Amino acid sequence: MTISPAAQTSQRPVLVVDYGAQYAQLIARRVREAKVYSEIVPHTLSTEQLLAKNPAAIILSGGPSSVYAEGAPVVPRDLFEAGVPVLGICYGFQGMSLAMGGEVAQTGLREYGSTETTILSQENPLLQGVSDHKSWMSHGDSVSRAPEGFEVLASTAGAPVAAIANEEKCLYGVQWHPEVKHSEGGQRILENFLYNGAGLEPNWTTGSIVDEQVERIREQIGDSRVICGLSGGVDSAVAAALVQRAVGDQLTCVFVNHGLLREGEAEQVERDFVAATGAKLYVANEQERFLNALAGVSDPETKRKIIGREFIRAFEEAERAIIAEAASEGESIKFLVQGTLYPDVVESGGGEGTANIKSHHNVGGLPEDLQFELVEPLRTLFKDEVRAVGAQLGLPAEIVGRQPFPGPGLGIRIVGEITSDRLELLRKADAIARAELTAAGLDGEVWQMPVVLLADVRSVGVQGDGRSYGHPIVLRPVSSEDAMTADWSRLPYDLLARISNRITNEVDGVNRVVLDVTSKPPGTIEWE
């Protein structure tokens, strides 16, 4: 069932080989910012498997291991003999140096954070226009001797060999992390590698994504009919708009009201999306189906799998109803469009070799007996890229700027069993928190603010001079660029006070409001 993102685009990718780096995502993003298509792959792929992806260039990421440690990932020598341009970063640089016959040593000179970097030569593709600067380091090992045939391009106090090049073979390495914003000129170095070193063109833009995806969708769907799961969120709105552009009224959007929605959500989908695009919309009222299937379940992964399965069952029902309505019996609808993004795939463990963090309902939660062929035009994109595509397609700012809301909805924001009373309670608390955030004019600054009910926790309070024994509500406002990493938002205290005060006064059963001050990692954005 896993489709590699590469299957979704004709671009030759720049492969980021992940050696367990904290920054592999960031490297891929920076390459895309340079308008070059990029994908992350695990280091467990063999050279043959890597080359089979027809990469335009390869970037080896950093990683936590020491190249000497037992079981440390080996950077294979044959990778450098295939004629593909390679840039090694930190661990990748050390591994490349070792593979090519250089030396790596534990000199005891560790460097963490901002580091004065001396550029020894600008007469090479990598460091053209880059002068002495502060780069961001995070290493304990160092390259003590460059491999034969490589020129040393830069040095620092702790790393005399801080950058190397073999121009003829198009092989480059840097000890520091050009992908982090704290590395001055880092983006320039990556672009130098891509444009000057690997000779790539900056032609991967939102315009080119739209054209290419529209073309692919037409090819895939032909003149068949297609349904699209539409949630009111950004991703499905953009996916639907792309499909509509490709195949026009062969498309019917299906909005599933699973009873796990927030206040006013169903109405808002009908109002905003249909008004903006004129697409056909079928509303499936499936509250009972989902509540029955979820009764008595409190394990998060089980909930996610049930929701993923019931979503598909709801789409199947909807498909039958749509066909019956059109009186075109017999002609079943084969295609289902979903607004699946790259992070959904990566976190669900759908990227090759990546860990399963949580099964997103639309990826890891899909049932085995799926009858639809999936159409997922956004499967290779990050959220901010999807927003840019949406804007390009002319969707209104209220849609492309909307805060994300997960498909499983309030179902994964009740820690414990889901009941209609608990949903009712959480819906009220969530509506208050959202209204206050909007009133404070902070919607644009906050990426998302899950409001979570700890249904299995109770604490003692005093309300109206009497004892109460109620549930806590957690506020989880975060800032983020692409939901892969996040920080907790420093909301003004008076806003937090107002939300807390209103929730404890207005929502029966809640006697405490707490603020989640955890970044991602280690926490995820949602609690389940």
Ligand X SMILES: O=c1[nH]c(=O)c2[nH+]cn([C@@H]3O[C@H](COP(=O)(O)O)[C@@H](O)[C@H]3O)c2[nH]1
Ligand Y SMILES: NC(=O)CC[C@H](N)C(=O)O
Neighbouring residues of 216: CB distance < 8 A, sequence distance ≥ 6: 8, 377
**According to the binding rule CB under 6 A, does residue 191 interact with ligand ATP?**
no
**According to the binding rule CB under 6 A, does residue 113 interact with ligand Y?**
no
Which option in ligand X, ligand ATP, ligand Y, none does residue 138 bind, with CB closer than 5 to 8 A by kind? Answer: ligand Y
DSSP structure string for 396-455: -HHHHTPPP--TTGGGGSEES---HHHHHHHHHHHHHHHHHHHHTT-TTT-SB--EEEET
| Contact region with ligand Y (CB under 6 A), list: 6-14, 63-71, 256-264, 517-525 | 63-71
Q: Quick check: is 184 catalytic?
A: no
CA distances (Å), origin 509, targets 135, 260, 284, 415, 421: 52, 19, 31, 15, 10
Least distance to ligand X, CB of residue 65, Å: 26
Which option in ligand Y, Mg ion, ligand X, none does residue 408 bind, with CB closer than 5 to 8 A by kind? Answer: ligand X
Please state, in angstroms and rounded to a whole number, the distance separating the CA atoms of residues 402 and 320.
31
Least distance to Mg ion, CB of residue 316, Å: 21
Q: Which of 18, 141, 436, 482 binds ligand Y (CB under 6 A)?
A: 141
Q: Quick check: is 182 catalytic?
A: no
User: Length of the chain, please?
Assistant: 528
237 annotated ligand-binding residue:
yes
CA distances (Å), origin 389, targets 44, 171, 381, 461: 33, 34, 10, 49
User: Which residue in 156, 153, 178 sits closest to 165, CA to CA?
Assistant: 153
Nearer to ligand ATP, 120 or 266 (CB): 266
| Contact region with Mg ion (CB under 5 A), list: 399-407, 438-446, 448-456, 471-479 | 399-407
| Contact region with Mg ion (CB under 5 A), list: 139-147, 245-253, 402-410, 453-461 | 402-410
**According to the binding rule CB under 6 A, does residue 231 interact with ligand ATP?**
yes
465 annotated ligand-binding residue:
no
With 0-12 / 13-18 / 19 or more C-beta atoms within 10 angstroms meaning exposed / middle / buried, residue 523 is middle
SS3 call for 346: helix
Q: What's the one-letter identity of residue 173?
A: G
- Choose, from 39, 43, 90, 310, the residue flagged as catalytic: 90
- Choose, from 43, 133, 139, 177, the residue flagged as catalytic: 177
SS3 call for 292: helix
**According to the binding rule CB under 6 A, does residue 500 interact with ligand Y?**
no
Task: Locate 479 and state its tokens.
Answer: 């800032």
With 0-12 / 13-18 / 19 or more C-beta atoms within 10 angstroms meaning exposed / middle / buried, residue 75 is buried
Which option in ligand ATP, ligand Y, ligand X, none does residue 470 bind, with CB closer than 5 to 8 A by kind? Answer: none
Site string for ligand ATP, 382-421 (x = CB under 6 A): --------------------x-xxxx--------------
Size of the site for Mg ion (CB under 5 A): 3
| Contact region with Mg ion (CB under 5 A), list: 43-51, 82-90, 230-238, 293-301 | 230-238
**According to the binding rule CB under 6 A, does residue 101 interact with ligand Y?**
no
SS3 call for 282: strand
Residue 401 neighbours by CB distance under 10 Å: 14
Which option in ligand ATP, ligand Y, ligand X, none does residue 156 bind, with CB closer than 5 to 8 A by kind? Answer: none
Nearer to ligand Y, 75 or 474 (CB): 75
Task: Locate 228 and state its tokens.
Answer: 């699209």
Q: Quick check: is 179 catalytic?
A: yes
Chain CA centroid to CA 87, Å: 24
Strand blocks (E) in 182-225:
none
231 annotated ligand-binding residue:
yes
**According to the binding rule CB under 6 A, does residue 140 interact with ligand Y?**
yes
Binding site for ligand Y (CB under 6 A): 62-66, 90-91, 138-141
Which amino acids are annotated as binding site, given as ranges? Answer: 231-237
Binding site for Mg ion (CB under 5 A): 231, 233, 405
Which amino acids are annotated as binding site for ATP, given as ranges? Answer: 231-237
- Catalogue the active-site residues: 90, 177, 179
